[in-house]
Structures are given as structure tokens and as C-alpha cells.
Amino acid sequence: MSEIKKIIKGCLAGDRRDQELLYRRHAAKLYAVCLQYSGNDEEARDILQEGFIKIFENLDCYKNEGSFEGWMRRIVVNTALEKFRSRHNLYRVDDIDTITETDAEPDNQDYAGLEAEDLLNIIKELPAKYRIVFNLYAIEGYSHKEISKMVNISEGTSKSDLSRARAILQRRVGSYTGLKKKIANG
């Protein structure tokens, strides 16, 4: 039996040490996910806390099918979406401007030298609605149809948000890399 299965069984049996062990092993990775979906550290902290409470409460629903880490990640992402929906319940389809080709920078940039921390900072600066759609589509791999149901928007809005998010990210990545090069060159 794998170690994670033993830990899960310990958690199911109410073993506080196994519960803490599970948390310590996965909290850092899941906290990074929370930061991707939230605009600030405080919100990320809330998502992580609520997410882990749900994980422990629903641990008996995990059927040992598929990745346990993936299962936990889905719970955390869903928690982030709940937070987003509750804070942006006036998010309407017609709020979104249609993206134009000219919004996007030509993608001939050099992304070298960008650390994960830089990427996280860039993504955190996105407006919430763009950040959510970009994360769900580009990172999690959901389709626009799925995203439209998850975030309660139309597919068209999802596509528009994604385009707008990409355009913003490309600009900011460019600024970041430029800035980093300047710093490196003194």
C-alpha cells in the first residue's frame, strides 16, 4: 500500500497526525494554486483554508481512482470559483468588450529568465474575471463550454475573456522581461 493511501486511511480514522501530515505535504503546492486564482494573499489564504476543510470532510468520497493530488486541486479550484462567484455575482455577459487583434502584442518575445514567481505576480495582476478564465482554460485545460457553466457566463464571453487575458499577459510579460534585462545589464 502506498504511503499516501496509509495517510488517507489515517485521516479517515481521525488521526490528527496523519491529517497534519497530509496538509504539510500538499499545502505549498495548493497554496500556489490559490494564489493563481486570487488577487491577494488574504484571499488565497481563505481559499486554502476552506479548500482543506472540504478535502478532509470529503476524503471518504475519494475512490482511489486517478491522482489524489488532482482530486485535491479540483476541490481547491472549485473553492476559488465559489469565492469568485460570491464576490462577482454582478458579472454580466454584456460587461465584456470585444477584444480586437490590435490589443495583442506580436508574440515574438523572449520569455527566458522568467521565474515562476514572476509569472505568478503577472497573473495575479490580471482583473479577476480574466484571471479565472485564463487559469481554467490555459492551466487546468477546461473548454470554453465547461468554463461557461462553471463561471456562469456565455461561451462567447469566455473566449473574449481569454483573449483579453492573453493580450494583457503578453504585454506584461514583455515589460517584465525588458525590465529584468535592464536590471541584469545594470
| Residue 21 within binding range of other proteins, rule CB under 8 A | no
Q: Cβ of residue 175: shortest distance to other proteins, in angstroms?
A: 14
Question: DSSP characters for 109-170?
Answer: ---TT--HHHHHHHHHTS-HHHHHHHIIIIIS---HHHHHHHHT--HHHHHHHHHHHHHHHH
The four Cα atoms 12, 13, 16, 21 give a dihedral, to 10 degrees, of -50
**How far apart are alpha carbons 22 and 24 in whole angstroms?**
6
C-alpha cell at 30: 495548493
Which CB atom, from 24 or from 182, has the smaller least distance to other proteins? Answer: 24
Stretch that binds other proteins, among 20-28, 80-88, 90-98, 146-154 (CB under 8 A): 20-28
* Lookup result for grid cell 479517515: 12
C-alpha cell at 82: 465559489
Q: Cβ of residue 183: shortest distance to other proteins, in angstroms?
A: 19
| Residue 48 within binding range of other proteins, rule CB under 8 A | yes
Q: Of residues 31, 37, 91, 142, which one binds other proteins by CB under 8 A?
A: 31
> Which spans of this chain sit near other proteins (rule: CB under 8 A)?
1, 5-6, 9-10, 12-16, 18-20, 23-24, 27-29, 31-32, 35-36, 45, 48-49, 52-53, 56-57, 59-60, 63, 101, 104, 106-107, 111, 114-117, 119-120, 123, 134, 137-139, 162-163, 166, 169-170, 173
